[in-house]
Amino acid sequence: MQRTLVLIKPDGVQRGLVGEIIRRLERRGLKLIAMKMMQVPREQASRHYAEHQGKAFYEGLLGFITSGPIVAMIWEGREAVTVVRSLMGSTDPLKAQPGTIRGDLALDLGMNLIHGSDSPARAESEIALFFSAAEFHEYERTIDQWIRE
Ligand code: DAT
Ligand code: MG
């Protein structure tokens, strides 16, 4: 079973969309493994977004992600990385399909509500950057027999 890191960014918390975003992930059948509210320290943010270092939007991105509390989560399920990315929609909300989180709830590239890991390898390193194993919750859901074949 695959795991992925999801962040509800400061705009999601400020706009009161935490419940709406979690609802969409839960309803798809994904399983919540870990969750916490936090303000990301700059050092952690720069490691998280290391791939974008040097790009024109990098400083703005770091300023934004560290500007207020976020909600960090680990979600598990079949192809969880791809499933979360498809629920999120395209990076630019203007190009995101209706029905996706960004396509329904956001307008601006810089304020696109949610982060989701973009590959299983990245999910693994991003999960390690945000959570310790002691924060994972291992539990059975009886409903899984109606979600997993
Ligand atoms: P995603 O968040 O869909 O994985 P990404 O990893 O390419 O997208 O970029 C990380 C974040 O940086 C993205 O959610 C919003 C911001 N961003 C990306 N490209 C940008 C650009 N051209 N101008 C401003 N912000 C940008
Ligand atoms: Mg990305």
Model confidence at 149: pLDDT above 90: no
Burial class (CB in 10 A: 0-12, 13-18, 19+), 118: middle
Amino acid identity, residue 50?
A
pTM, entire model:
0.97
48 an active-site residue?
no
Q: Cβ distance 103 to 89 under 8 Å?
A: yes
| β-pair partners for 36 | 72
- Cβ–ligand 1 distance for 91 under 6 Å, the answer yes
Using alpha carbons, select from 28, 5, 13 the residue that is nearest to residue 65. Answer: 13
List pLDDT tens digits, range 128-146.
Answer: 999 999 999 999 999 999 9
Q: Which of 40, 61, 85 to mutate to test the pocket of ligand 1 (most atoms within 8 A of CB)?
A: 61
List pLDDT tens digits, range 52-97.
Answer: 999 999 999 999 999 999 999 999 999 999 999 999 999 999 999 9
Q: Please give the domain boundaries of the chain with CATH numbers for all domains.
A: 2-146 (3.30.70.141)
State which residues have CB under 5 angstroms from ligand 2, the bound ion. 118
Q: How far does residue 142's CA lie from ligand 2's centre (Å)?
A: 33
**Alpha carbon 2 to chain centroid distance?**
14
